[in-house]
Structure 1
């Protein structure tokens, strides 16, 4: 399926079906040895114009964004921002004025937390040690070619999702030698995004899952990604039918203190409005505290419909 057009002058790494294209080497952006140049993330308060720090990388972004494109490019913003590197993504929670959705909800797994995405009309449960972020927060991974010294080269994202839950925020900290910014890497995160333009639930799962591994763990390298070539049917405990696909990286060339291999799973389904939606979870692999696949599948099993989705244009 068409995966959208990249900004002028930028090559979209998934401009074709990622399982049909040649995964040739890409030039490095020359990122610093401290933070590396791959696992950089964005965090955007979607409904506000608030300067916030990324939950995964510490990158500072100003303004809003979208999470509804099938190709993952929703949420791009090129507005410059300035703030102290010590700021945290929690700033968006208080500044947005919106309480965390799900605080009064009952989880399907006793003792877990409910994570609600009111825009897409979905919910899932997260284990008690996860942090539930505001529903209007968008997180994701930015392109490794982003240059913080150039205000015109900000905000090019690889993939985003909204209303996330995060496991061990700032699990690892490093300083980017090039920008001097402190980057905090999360151990894992999960959330939901739209899949406008998708043709099927298989299409949703396959077109998005590899982006999470590429954006968070391997870019600019593509050779180390191992992914499902066909999606598998899956039904959640609540009865939602859709498709899942996995992607992992192995032996990715590493340049930074906090960089590791990673994995991701995406569940493609339709919400009550008939819109295609993608629920995704990504996490570091080959590390001491790696999130087990069994726990990931238990979290995935709790995905369910919740309330009336907002219009896609909202």
Structure 2
């Protein structure tokens, strides 16, 4: 019932606004206002925030303290030895570190991991390729901090899901080791809106109207210029780490999640696709009020812990 109420509210209050933007896009729209308004959202306890600067963007490092682990009398608590690189959604156009802080840290808590959130450069001033470069910069920052790839998980929602896969593919191109796993929530994986618009159930999506997909593809194309972005579903997926994808059954982006899972499987990548019945886009953000969302976040935490402890189990067996 709570899920239905939320979906109905979003459909009446948010979707019409997005549809107007999709039909009449303009620089006048205050895309940055949403993240600015969310700047006072409070994080969970047990984490220490450090504002950092990557090569071309800001980021936040949320260091989780694990109670009861002593490395010395002078250091009664240790920090988590697992890190999540979290990439926020927002259609490459809006949202940021503030809007997604609570969701990212909730996933970090469920995973017993510290979290690096990246305020990557966005459309229309910057291309998606530049967004990906900022995410790779975040991954390199974690490596420099001492996290090994098997202790890092890349996660993201919506457009951040696109960046999750695009970042992993770019790491392979640059000769860097893959992280332990990838997590994608309601991911956009194909910039071509054709298949999404053809699915009847997608029209029932409580949040994303078709006009937004068409406009996003147009804006991304203009920003890319002569170097169009290759969607992750069309990339060389072989060699990617285990993947968890969560999506709602009536979402506009259900097609993208399903297609990505199919192509990952065909490439030999271990993949789990969870389809949550009639849940709204990135419903995990409502874990405080939706039991389904809370369970989904716990599932992510289990997946992350399993993926990052795989090497320990292998070593123990030897």
Do Structure 1 and Structure 2 share a fold, with TM-score over 0.5? no
**CA radius of gyration, larger in:** 2
Relative to the length of structure 2, the TM-score reads 0.28
TM superposition score normalised by structure 1:
0.28
More strand by share: 1
Name whichever structure is richer in helix by fraction: 2
